[in-house]
Structure 1
Amino acid sequence: MLLLQVPATDTTAASLSAASGAAPQQSLQLLDLVAKGGWVMIPIAFLFFCALYLIFERFFIIRAQTRTDAGFIDNVKDMVLQGNIKSAESFCKNQRTATGRIFEKAIGRIGSPIREIEATVETVGQIEIGRLERNLGYLGIIAGIAPLLGFIGTISGIIRIFYDISLSDNISVGIIAGGLYEKMITSGAGLIVGVIAYTGYHLLNMMIEKFTLALEMNAFEFIEVLQKPTETVRMR
């Protein structure tokens, strides 16, 4: 008599096929998370785009206005020493940068006392730096407000969760966790926007500080050149 033996692996194969036919686990999508954040995500998104615009707008302007040729100050000193004041003034004007405008005004004051020329460089320099820092304060405001908006969204969501629990008189971990993770989205979004604005604010300020240091060095060399001819004339 022939005995039919059923392989023991059939049960395992059946269980594997059943497992493979099970529904795949849901995954979180970015747009779904943003939509579940609630109305607070609207001002946070607005602040996000404002921060990006301010960062890129200021970056390109600061980079363009603080760009200085390697031999700029040397050319200016040579023209001044040769007595080509008009040529030096035109050379600075053609630079179309903050540094060019500062030294254009300083060269126009040649013949006045050194203290007046130094005051001119300082005053015009402060004006140009003020132009570079324009709208940077808004980045600082965004860096402070965005995280607070996120916390407001989270707190309002928690209040709503406990209010619903009080109405239904049913404490369920699923209900609490589901509503809570949705409201925590606003905190995460607010912190991300705040970090972006905070980082951009300080990076742009570092660019301005670097320009300020270079300006002070160039101004010192320029004033030093103006003082040397005077000393030579006195010795003669």
Structure 2
Amino acid sequence: MGILLQAADTATQLAATAAPAIEKISLWELLAKGGWLMYPLYLLLIVALFIFFERLIAIRKASKIDSSFMPIIRDNILSGNIKGAETLARNTNNPVSRMISKGLKRIGKPIDVIEKSMESVGRQEMYNMERNLNILSLIAGIAPMFGFLGTIIGMVQLFYEINSSGNFELSTIAGGIYVKMITSATGLIIGLIAFIFHNYLSTQVDKTANKMEIAATEFIDILQEPTK
């Protein structure tokens, strides 16, 4: 009985010794295995990050509107101090002030003419805020496609090598497949990041556009109030 137990322990030790150690790999080493198509994906990520932060700063700057701006404009208009209102609007740098400035220059003309001129400025300001957001949308669409292309190219190369060498070992095939899937995973992650960036910035633009609409409506209402 003791001999059998000793033999079992020896067999267990031999099996543990023979079992291959699991190879650990860092994230950067894993990404490096993705091949040359990882570089276009890196470039798309850099472009997405640059556009996001550049637009975020610009949109936040555009959305900062002093709460006292419209009350001061109203007081100046009702008191007949149009020049003072124009000076305030001209010296304030945001989409609302530029739209109001255009409306002030049209005072004396029919209301519909004033509204159209302000709408024209509003559309231009919206275009300025939305500039380059379409690139984020494009990256969200093409990054996964780039990743999938890298996987397809890698799989073709893998099966060509297997066919040429005749090596059909499961470890070789599995190892090759997981390496080729790296580009697909990276492309999907970059596409998701760009999609989130685009939707977040679009929401901020919509909030600023709502402020512009409120200010324009308030301005038209002021023009229809009796002057002091």
Q: One fold, TM greater than 0.5?
A: yes
Shift of 1:129: 0.6
Q: Which residue of 2 aligns with 1:102?
A: 99
Distance in 2, matches of 1:172 and 1:111, equals: 86
Which amino acid in the other structure matches residue 126 of structure 1? R
Q: Which residue of 2 aligns with 1:5?
A: none
Task: Identify which of structures 1 and 2 has the higher relative contact order when contacts are C-alpha pairs closer than 8 Å and 6+ apart.
Answer: 2
Distance in 2, matches of 1:172 and 1:44, equals: 31
Distance in 1, matches of 2:144 and 2:186, equals: 8
Matched residues, number: 223
Which amino acid in the other structure matches residue 95 of structure 2? A
Distance in 2, matches of 1:24 and 1:172, equals: 19
Distance in 1, matches of 2:24 and 2:182, equals: 15
Q: Which residue of 2 aligns with 1:227?
A: 224
Please, which runs of 5 or more residues in structure 2 have no aligned partner? Answer: none
Q: Does residue 41 of the first structure (1) align with residue 38 of the second (2)?
A: yes
Q: Does residue 30 of the first structure (1) align with residue 34 of the second (2)?
A: no
Q: Which residue of 2 aligns with 1:169?
A: 166
Which residue of the other structure, out of 26, 50, 65, is the alignment partner of 1:68?
Answer: 65
Distance in 1, matches of 2:156 and 2:81, equals: 75
Q: Does residue 155 of the first structure (1) align with residue 137 of the second (2)?
A: no
Distance in 2, matches of 1:217 and 1:77, equals: 14
Which amino acid in the other structure matches residue 67 of structure 1? K
Distance in 2, matches of 1:227 and 1:70, equals: 21
Shift of 1:170: 2.4
Which amino acid in the other structure matches residue 43 of structure 2? F
Deviations 1:146-202 (A, max 9, x none): 000000011111111111111112211111111111111101110111011111111
Which residue of the other structure, out of 100, 117, 127, is the alignment partner of 1:120?
Answer: 117
The alignment yields a C-alpha RMSD, in angstroms, of 2.6
Distance in 1, matches of 2:27 and 2:179, equals: 12
Structure 1 stretches (4+) deviating beyond 3 angstroms?
Answer: 22-25
Question: For residues 23 and 165 of structure 1, do their structure 2 counterparts lie closer, same or farther at Cα, with a shift above 3 Å needed?
Answer: closer
Distance in 2, matches of 1:163 and 1:36, equals: 18
Which amino acid in the other structure matches residue 187 of structure 1? S
Q: Which residue of 2 aligns with 1:3?
A: none
Distance in 1, matches of 2:199 and 2:174, equals: 37
Please, which runs of 5 or more residues in structure 1 have no aligned partner? Answer: 1-7
Q: Which residue of 2 aligns with 1:194?
A: 191
* Equivalent residues of 2:107, 2:114 under 8 A apart: yes
TM-score, structure 2 normalization: 0.89
Which amino acid in the other structure matches residue 27 of structure 2? L
Distance in 1, matches of 2:98 and 2:21, equals: 65
Shift of 1:24: 5.9
Q: Which residue of 1 aligns with 2:201?
A: 204
Which residue of the other structure, out of 196, 208, 214, is the alignment partner of 2:211?
Answer: 214
Q: Percent identity?
A: 42
Which amino acid in the other structure matches residue 203 of structure 2? M
Q: Which residue of 1 aligns with 2:50?
A: 53
